[in-house]
Structures are given as structure tokens and as C-alpha cells.
Structure 1
Amino acid sequence: MLNFQHSPYPERSAETSDAPHYKPSDESEQTVFLVDDDENVRNSLAFFLEGYHLNVKTFSNGQEFLEKVDPQADGCLILDVRMPGLTGTEVQMRLKQMHASFPIIVLTAHADVPVAVESIKQGAYDFLLKSSSQHEIISTVQEALKHSRRNREIVRELNRTRALMQSLSKRELEVVDLVIEGLTSREISERLDIKIKTVDAHRANLMRKMGATNVADLINKIVTLRNTDYPKQS
């Protein structure tokens, strides 16, 4: 077990020595952000995670973290629930308002479990007890980092779809809306008062511009984009 109160620099035990090392799938480095007002906890946990070749940045309070963090950073956040000033819950709410994309792992003592559960309901990825085993800690962090990378890949695809939609003409947008409604080419031609072959030409252009393999793929791309609240990456 990691004893945060008495061992500021825990060594990796046999329990975790064979744990798989998660590596990002591309050249960019992920970051584990750690926010806790207890210096002993920060030092202990940072030292432990760095032993797994993870990039760790520590903060003593929530305000400092919010002022310096990039909401679209690739990584995860380990956030203490109870801190002076901004509490972990308040930091989580601020991050939600900032549309932060990285997963949040709530760090809590036994007595704060109900608060941690509420944080999960508010969108936190997971929570860890301060008495958690080394294996639980590294496994949770590594899964959160994988989750962050998957989320970024999804956002990139959504941004790609968004850019492709911007290339559509006003008439093509009208046609695609009716395709999504389930109308046939004949019904669309009647609705828009244009020829069926003109509708078919617009549909062909839609498929080509959107890179869709079939109508179902086209509808899925656009409906997913419209129904997803996501941070837009540059």
C-alpha cells in the first residue's frame, strides 16, 4: 500500500513491477496533473508515477491549476476532494465550464467517498482512495490516459466532419437534412421543387464531399456531429 502519511517517496513494489507500461500512440507526451494541498501526498504520488515514466505536473491548489492548465491538454487529472480555497468539486465544475477534455480522477479519504461518488455523477472518470494499492493507482491512471487519447481521436474525427460540412452548399445542406429525415429522392424533389436527377446529383456530391461510404455512414457522421457537445480543437 502507498502510505501517504509516512512514506513520502514510496518505492515500486513487486505488486506493480510487472505492470504494463502504457505508451501514447504518437509522439506527443501525455501529462498527469496532480492537485493536492498536502505536500507529502503530492511528492509521494508524483515520485511513484514518474517511476512509470509518466510526465507529472503538481499543483498545491485548484486556483493555481486552473490558471495554468490548457483545458484541451492530453492527459488526466488527479484531484483531491478537500482542499482550502477551491474544493475539488468546485475545480471540477470550473473545468466543465471550460470544456476540459481530459479525464478527472478524484482522490479521496474513506470519509469522503460519498463526495467522490457525486463527482462521478458529475462527470469524473473514476476515484481513488488515498489508501489505494500501488496497482490500483497505476492501473487507474493508465486507463485514464488511454481514455484521454481515445477522446482526442474522436474529437479530431468530429472536427474533420465539421470542416467537411462547411464545404457543402446551401442546397446540399437542405438535401442532407431531408435525407436524414428519411425522405426518398422523389420526396426530396417534391419538397424542394427540383428534378429527381438533380437530387441524385446533390446526393452524389454529398457522399463524395463527406467521404461517406453509404447513406447510413453519411447520416451517422452528421447526426453524431450535431448531437455531440465537444471541445473544438484547432
Structure 2
Amino acid sequence: MNPTTIFIVDDDASHRDSLQFLLESAGLEVRSFSSARDFLDGADPETPGCLLLDVLMPGMSGLDLQNELLNAKISLPIIFITGHGTIPMSVRAVKSGAVDFLQKPCDEQDLLRAIHRAIEQDRRTRREKEKLREIHKLIDSLSPREHEVFTHLVSGMLNKQVAYRLGTTERTIKAHRRRIMEKMKADSMADLVRYAEKLGLGKPQD
């Protein structure tokens, strides 16, 4: 995995440099950019870490960049730092997932605390994505029939109900269920239901 990186995007060179000095002094890996476009062109937003982002910049604003990342389904946590923020701006930013919205000049300890919260959020998000990838791999190991049985079971149907729905015997469904449990590395039906919930499956059947 790539090292955790704090990305700074701010058109104010002096503020950008002072932030970089502060964060590097705290032992953090930092990359800075003078515009949102430079960030998009020169950074890998899938890198673990977080983004310190100015709101008002020439060209693409910080809020525009936030929307760009959201539309691309990139979950890099964002901390806004601005000298021209308004309450509507901060509300919009936080509703769109920003970790914090700080005013320039911000207190160093407040900033560092916000960064550590953002890094921890990023780690949780990445762990959850990795779990989802693993569950997808397990789901893909099922045969089409096993997948069909799995979908019915996690919706809350009993073995005999699934058998009736699929035109087979309860004994056959039990055999499918055993294989599904093995392939999905599940110890119980509760595990299967949790996997299904993470994938958005398992809604009750009519």
C-alpha cells in the first residue's frame, strides 16, 4: 500500500508553503498543488491520506473539486481551509462529506486533529472497500443456481419455500446451502445475511 499522503490544494503560495512546513515537521508526507486542475492532473487521488482544500481558487473551486471527486466515486477525505468561507459554503461542504471546514488562519492543533480524523476515516473506508472486494470474489465463486438459492435464502425464505419457488426439493436446497456456506466461508446464515446487506442484496421476496 502507498504511504499516507496529505495533499494540499491552495492558490496562496505562502499559506501552502507554511502548511507544508507544519505538516512535514509533524512527520507527515505532503504534496502540494496551486490549483484543483493541477491536483487532478498530477496526483493519484486513490493514494491513502486526505486533502486540505481551499474553497475559493481561480478556475475550479474547492467545492467544484469536491463534486468532481464525488462523481468519480473517489472517497479521499477533505478538510476545507478558507479565508472567505460562509455558513452556506460550510454546510454544503460538510453535507457532501467534508471532514471539517476551518477558517484561515486555523489553529495548528485543530488542523492536526482534523487531519488525524480524516486519515482514520480514510483507513476505515479502505478496509470496508477491501471487505467488499473479498465478498464479491466469494459471490463470484457461486454457480448460477447457488447464487439464485443464496439470494432467496438471505431474503428470509425457509428452505422449503426456496424449494417451492425453484421447483425442487428441500433436500436439494439444503445441499446447495451447505455448498454456499463453504464457498462463502460463512459459519452461519447470519454471516450470509451480513454479506448480502453489504452488497445491497437480500430484500424480502414477494
Same fold (TM over 0.5): yes
CA distance in 2: counterparts of 1:154 and 1:111, whole angstroms = 32
CA distance in 2: counterparts of 1:196 and 1:96, whole angstroms = 46
CA contact (8 A) 1:61 1:84 kept: yes
Q: Mapping of 1:169-208 within 5 angstroms?
A: 169-208=143-182
CA contact (8 A) 1:31 1:54 kept: yes
Q: Mapping of 1:1-234 within 5 angstroms?
A: 28-109=2-83, 111-226=85-200
What is the RMSD of the two structures over their aligned residues, measured on CA atoms? 1.4
CA contact (8 A) 2:99 2:114 kept: no
Q: What SS does the aligned partner of 2:86 have? A: helix
Amino acid paired to 2:195: K
Amino acid paired to 2:50: C
Change (3 A) 1:86 1:110: closer
Percent identity (aligned)? 37
CA contact (8 A) 2:85 2:103 kept: no
Amino acid paired to 2:22: F
Number of equivalent positions: 201
Q: Could you list the runs of 5+ residues in structure 2 that have no partner in the other structure?
A: 202-206
Q: Could you list the runs of 5+ residues in structure 1 that have no partner in the other structure?
A: 1-26, 228-234
Deviations 1:19-46 (A, max 9, x none): xxxxxxxx74100000000001100011
Change (3 A) 1:177 1:184: same
CA distance in 2: counterparts of 1:158 and 1:132, whole angstroms = 37
TM-score (norm 1): 0.82
TM-score (norm 2): 0.93
Deviations 1:45-70 (A, max 9, x none): 11001111100000000001011222
